[in-house]
């Protein structure tokens, strides 16, 4: 009620619309990030040198 008195109907509607757009953009960003990670993992090559088992233990 207080927001309606101070901000008016148009202001509340504008704030709620902006909030919905922000939530939508956040969800889209999370979805894009997950897709990017799955693509990157498929293209990864293991370059870690294997442990040399021919060396004598000290």
Higher pLDDT, 10 or 25: 25
CA–CA dist 8, 20 (Å, integer): 19
Label residue 49 by pLDDT band (50, 70, 90). Answer: confident
User: What is the residue whose two structure tokens read 């619309």?
Assistant: 17
* Percent with pLDDT over 90 in the chain: 21
Q: What predicted TM-score, i.e. pTM, was given to this entire model?
A: 0.45
CA–CA dist 33, 38 (Å, integer): 9
55 backbone φψ class: left, alpha, beta (φ>0; ψ -120 to 50): beta
Mean pLDDT, all residues of the chain:
76
């Amino acid at each position: 009620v207080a927001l309606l008195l101070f901000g008016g109907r148009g202001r509340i509607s504008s704030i709620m619309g902006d909030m919905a757009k922000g939530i939508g953009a956040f969800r889209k960003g999370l979805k894009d990030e997950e897709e990017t990670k799955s693509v990157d993992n498929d293209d990864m090559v293991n370059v870690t040198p294997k442990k040399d088992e021919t060396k004598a233990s000290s």
